[in-house]
Amino acid sequence: MTELLAATGIVLTLVFTVVNGFHDASNAVALPVRFNALTPRVALWTGAVFNMVGALLVGLVLKRMITFEIPLPLGDVGITVLLCALLTAIGWDLLTWWWRMPASSTAAIGGAVVGALLGARAVGLYRDHVALGPYFSWNVLAPLLVSPVIAFAAAFLLVIPLVHLVQHETPGRVNFRAGVVQATGAVAIHFGHGIQHARRTLWILLVLMITAGSGISRESMPVWLPVLVGLCLAFGTLLGGWRISYTLASRVVTLDPLRGAIAQTVSGALLFLGGFFSPVPLSSSQTSTAAILGAGSAQRFRTVYHATLLRVIGTWLLTVPVCGVVSGVLFLAVSPLLPAPAA
């Protein structure tokens, strides 16, 4: 039974990776396509390539970053927790895509794991006394709070000096340079997204394979595993996810090409550098959205679409509790099928 559960979990992990690439492609391509810095086809192919490069970099060079810091039990209970969390996160990503909302897959999978573990503890299948509080704070709340605040503040503050820097330039020259920066920022966002998501995905795959007795570990991870993750991310990116792009480019705040370039620069820098140096998993959706809002808010006239902004923030706030409850209920529903832990 353990092997079957692990195989199912591996399939769901790869599906989650494809859906994540599909859901998050908009974070990088929305502004360059909106301002004609990149064509839609070039934007998606560029994203696919650099998402895969980011995943390969994690698997081949940055193995120390493959960690989720989660008190997950090995065995059928732990695999079932991951199955419930993955199903919940996949469903939430697809639902928020349908709503055109840029939601966080990081918060979704983190909240879903905590919810399933609490469900396991409620029925006595999880007796580990490791506190879930530190994990919840580090892997769920920190990405939810830290990256959007920093992205908003940095983009907001950068607008003033850069506007003064180009005030004597012709609009055509400013727009051309902004387009180059937007395209470069899109590459950085995709690259950082590949690193960030591969860290989580490879950890989940390693846990499932170790539990199934495959003999694979972080130190002895085969090359084909990060290649597979990268291919899934790339395939998902090529699917587009344009519904969310419309929200980011046109329905959150009014932007011009210069402010779009600032937003791309901030989110790209945070995700790129965070992939290498930050132990906290960053959300590309929340980072990109906050940077767009920060750059667009630093204007004298009314630019923010408050109704859309409230929907976006409401989606962010609902992600963790909704995914936690759904995942916990799923675990409780299947818990009678699981063997009781040894005394």
| 129-138, 140-149, 247-256: segment of lowest average pLDDT | 129-138
| Residue 325, domain extent | 2-333
Q: Say if CB 34 and CB 242 are below 8 A apart.
A: no
Q: 341 in a domain, yes or no?
A: no
Q: 210 in a domain, yes or no?
A: yes
pLDDT at 195 over 80: yes
| Residue that wins the pLDDT comparison between 121 and 329 | 329
Q: How confident is the model at residue 135 (pLDDT cuts 50, 70, 90)?
A: low
pLDDT at 282: 84
Q: Say if CB 196 and CB 281 are below 8 A apart.
A: yes
Q: 230 in a domain, yes or no?
A: yes
pLDDT at 184: 96
Place of tokens 């600032």: 262
The separation between CA 303 and the C-alpha centre of its own chain, rounded to angstroms, equals: 27
Mean pLDDT on 70-84: 85
Q: 342 in a domain, yes or no?
A: no
pLDDT at 262: 96
Q: 245 in a domain, yes or no?
A: yes
pLDDT at 332 over 70: yes
Instruction: Report the distance separating Cα 86 and Cα 102, nearest Å.
Output: 18
Q: How confident is the model at residue 28 (pLDDT cuts 50, 70, 90)?
A: very high
| 43-47, 60-64, 171-175: segment of lowest average pLDDT | 60-64
| Residue that wins the pLDDT comparison between 214 and 36 | 36
Three-state secondary structure of the chain: CHHHHHHHHHHHHHHHHHHHHHHHHHHHHHHHHHCCCCCHHHHHHHHHHHHHHHHHHHHHCCHHHCCCCCCCCCCHHHHHHHHHHHHHHHHHHHHHHHCCCCCCHHHHHHHHHHHHHHHHHHCCCCCCCCCHHHHHHHHHHHHHHHHHHHHHHHHHHHHHHHHHHCCCCCHHHHHHHHHHHHHHHHHHHHHHHHHHHHHHHHHHHHHHHHHCCCCCCCCCCCCHHHHHHHHHHHHHHHCCCHHHHHHHHHHCECCCHHHHHHHHHHHHHHHHHHHHHCCCCCCHHHHHHHHHHHHHHCCCCCCECHHHHHHHHHHHHHHHHHHHHHHHHHHHHHHHHCCCCCC
Mean pLDDT on 139-164: 87
Model pLDDT for residues 158-182, shown as the tens digit of each residue: 998 999 999 888 989 999 999 999 9
pLDDT at 88 over 90: yes
Q: 338 in a domain, yes or no?
A: no
pLDDT at 342: 56
pLDDT at 139: 65
| 21-30, 190-199, 279-288, 325-334: segment of lowest average pLDDT | 279-288
Instruction: Report the distance separating Cα 283 and Cα 116, nearest Å.
Output: 21
Mean pLDDT on 130-158: 79
Q: What is the tally of structural domains in the chain?
A: 1
Q: 343 in a domain, yes or no?
A: no
From residue 71, give the alpha-carbon distance in Å to each of 8, 68, 78, 130, 201. Answer: 21, 9, 9, 7, 16
pLDDT at 216 over 90: no
Average pLDDT score, the chain:
89
Q: 146 in a domain, yes or no?
A: yes
pLDDT at 74 over 60: yes
| Residue that wins the pLDDT comparison between 144 and 4 | 4
pLDDT at 128: 63
From residue 30, give the alpha-carbon distance in Å to each of 24, 50, 247, 275. Answer: 10, 16, 9, 21
Question: Hey, which of 128-132, 196-200, 262-266 has the most confident mean pLDDT?
Answer: 262-266
| Contacting residues for 250 by C-beta, under 8 A, at least 6 apart | 34
pLDDT at 261: 96
Model pLDDT for residues 321-330, shown as the tens digit of each residue: 999 999 999 9
